[in-house]
């Protein structure tokens, strides 16, 4: 049996009345890839944050390489050879790659000497692990897949032998995820120990050696990956059988609710990201837009929803124009029945310092339901939030808790509940299940199908091809800012993948 890289014994951690980890015992062998799965709020990220020194356990023992250790800060973890890549990257966006890598690990008093020394080490790491990235590139100008490589390079530069990745593919395309897995396999072959926290069970089956399942703060099972199935893991996570395939009937599209014509949008650098795009979405259908991240999908939905100004083109909502080339008012669009679930919940969807009940009415706080004369009706707001918490199974079930203290998947459910419960005529949703567990994915997919069946128009943007194929009645593929093909729900992953890679429509059909 391989030597244990990590041993956790009797780990307990509470946040007030919420016990996030309960009597955790976990052994991870050196040179293996261990998956840790569980529902949102099951305690996975808390447990790994204890191992990385963000939190301290209330009780229990940690051993690294068989020796008891005290990990009170991330610096303690780094000194022990533990690195962590977080779900939301810890990068300074206006710094270069190399500046981010050496930040906090400068080796010389003069920064230029530290950078020169780091440059040669980065070249070695990039070459050895296939982590190619321009060391002089500015972080905010890099796609998320390359930003994640920078996080991994940061950990390796600091000498990590144990690498924790929290939802590493949540923001990656299938091609980027495949490349990440090749990198992880190389790391394993060189003796590194990988801990992979994810909701994506097919990825667990593809890359891990063993998998531990957490539910309600405890580890309920550990399995050899080769000896289990996606269905068994899903049932262990949720405590019941989970429907892994979306069940839906034929769509019955009616009148066009959202009509986008010839839309052209530039980004902050003046680069055309959306180039003469036209899309119609009818009542009673889900139109999915597939594409590799960075091909204009984000800018498209931002322009439609009044967040980004378009250069030219038009958008009609229920036959009436939206001023997309001037100053479109997102509040006015909400009043007209257009709801928006943004791709980036932290920067656009939520105010993390607010309580859950406050976030649950953002943008809708002037509705009569939430008012008492000229003032907010706090009791009504909290009661409404509690109903959403129960319906969407948001955990912990405390509407007074700061939103920053919810897991990423539960934060996503707060946004979805807020927008979907307003019963909009048109729902524009970006990455609806990013960072969401398998049980919640099933629920969210059912809610989206139910909206379609009630005659709502849904425009779906997702990097998850399985999700696009399962939910969409029509699939549009974006490449380099343009719509390069349209397919029905029967489209294969390979066919869509070719279109996403820029292969012409007629070639992809051959």
* Residue 428 tokens, joined: 């524009």
- CA neighbours closer than 13 Å in the CB half-sphere of residue 58: 13
pLDDT at 170: 66
pTM, two decimal places: 0.70
Is-contact 457 257, C-beta < 8 A?
A: yes
pLDDT mean by block of 10 residues, the chain; 510 residues: 88 90 96 91 89 95 96 94 84 89 68 76 82 87 82 88 86 73 90 89 91 93 95 85 74 96 92 96 96 87 94 96 90 95 90 97 95 95 96 91 88 94 96 79 89 97 87 94 92 84 56
User: CB atoms < 10 A from the CB of 191, how many?
Assistant: 10
- CA neighbours closer than 13 Å in the CB half-sphere of residue 115: 11
Reported in sequence order, the residue ranges of 271-345 that DSSP labels E, i.e. its strands, are 272-282, 285-290, 312-317, 320-322, 338-341
pLDDT at 335: 94
pLDDT at 487: 93
- Per the rule left: phi > 0, alpha: psi between -120 and 50, beta: everything else, 413 is alpha
41, burial (CB in 10 Å: exposed 0-12, middle 13-18, buried 19+) = buried
Domain boundaries 4-238, corresponding CATH code = 3.40.50.300
* Alpha helices (H) along 59-157: 74-79, 97-102, 111-129, 144-157
User: CB atoms < 10 A from the CB of 235, how many?
Assistant: 16
Q: In what order do the strands lie in the sheet with 162-166?
A: 82-85, 162-166, 193-197, 33-38, 210-215, 218-224
pLDDT at 244: 60
How far is residue 209 CA from its own chain's centroid?
A: 24
How far is residue 89 CA from its own chain's centroid?
A: 11
End-to-end C-alpha distance for the chain, whole angstroms: 51
pLDDT at 52: 94
Q: Quick one: DSSP state of residue 422?
A: T
Longest dimension (CA), the chain: 69
Closest CA to 118 of 131, 134, 135, 132: 135
Whether 4-238 shares its CATH topology with 244-337+424-510 is answered yes
CA 382/CA 450 separation, integer angstroms: 26
pLDDT at 466: 83
Parse the chain into domains and list their residue ranges.
Answer: 4-238, 244-337+424-510, 348-418
SS3 46: helix
CA 346/CA 171 separation, integer angstroms: 13
Domain boundaries 244-337+424-510, corresponding CATH code = 3.40.50.300
pLDDT at 386: 97
């Amino acid at each position: 049996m391989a030597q244990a890289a990590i041993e956790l014994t009797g780990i307990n951690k509470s946040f007030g009345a919420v016990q996030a980890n309960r009597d955790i015992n976990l052994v991870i062998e050196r040179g293996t890839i261990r998956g840790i799965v569980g529902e949102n709020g099951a305690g996975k990220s808390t447990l790994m944050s204890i191992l990385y020194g963000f939190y301290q356990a209330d009780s229990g023992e940690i051993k690294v390489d068989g020796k008891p250790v005290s990990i009170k800060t991330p610096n303690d973890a780094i000194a022990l050879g533990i690195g962590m890549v977080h779900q939301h990257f810890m990068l300074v966006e206006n710094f270069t790659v190399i500046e981010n890598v050496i930040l906090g690990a400068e080796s010389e008093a003069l920064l230029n000497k530290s950078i020169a020394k780091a440059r040669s080490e980065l070249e070695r790491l990039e070459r050895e692990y296939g982590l190619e990235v321009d060391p002089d590139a500015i972080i905010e100008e890099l796609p998320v897949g390359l930003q994640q490589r920078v996080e991994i390079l940061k950990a390796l530069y600091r000498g990590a032998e144990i690498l924790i990745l929290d939802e590493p593919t949540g923001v990656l395309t299938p091609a980027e995820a495949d490349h990440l897995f090749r990198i992880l396999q190389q790391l394993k072959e060189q003796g590194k120990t990988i801990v992979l926290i994810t909701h994506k069970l097919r990825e667990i089956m593809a890359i891990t050696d063993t998998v531990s399942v957490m539910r309600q703060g405890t580890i309920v099972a550990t399995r050899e990956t080769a000896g289990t199935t996606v269905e068994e893991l899903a049932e262990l996570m949720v405590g019941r059988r989970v429907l892994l395939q979306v069940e839906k009937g034929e769509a019955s599209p009616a009148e066009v609710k959202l009509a986008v014509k010839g839309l052209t949008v530039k980004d902050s650098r003046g680069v055309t990201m959306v180039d003469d795009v036209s899309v119609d979405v009818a009542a009673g259908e889900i139109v999915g837009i597939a594409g590799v991240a960075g091909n204009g999908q984000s800018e498209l939905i931002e322009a439609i929803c009044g967040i980004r100004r378009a250069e030219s083109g038009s958008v009609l909502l229920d036959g009436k124009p939206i001023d997309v080339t001037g100053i479109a008012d997102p509040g006015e669009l909400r009043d007209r029945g257009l709801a928006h679930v943004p791709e980036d919940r932290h920067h656009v969807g939520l105010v993390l310092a607010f309580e859950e009940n406050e976030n649950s009415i953002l943008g809708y706080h002037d509705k009569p339901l939430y008012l008492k004369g000229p003032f907010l009706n706090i009791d009504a707001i909290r009661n409404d939030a509690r109903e959403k918490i129960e319906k969407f199974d948001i955990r912990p079930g405390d509407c007074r808790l700061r939103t920053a203290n919810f897991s990423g998947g539960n934060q996503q459910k707060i946004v979805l509940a807020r927008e979907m419960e307003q019963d909009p005529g048109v729902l524009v949703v970006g990455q609806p299940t990013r960072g969401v567990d398998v049980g919640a994915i099933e629920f969210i997919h059912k809610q989206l199908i139910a909206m379609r069946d009630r005659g709502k128009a849904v425009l779906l943007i997702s990097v998850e091809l399985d999700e696009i194929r399962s939910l969409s009645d029509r699939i549009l593929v974006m490449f380099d800012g343009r719509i390069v093909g349209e397919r029905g729900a029967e489209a294969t992953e390979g066919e869509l993948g070719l279109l996403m890679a820029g292969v012409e429509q007629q070639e992809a059909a051959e």
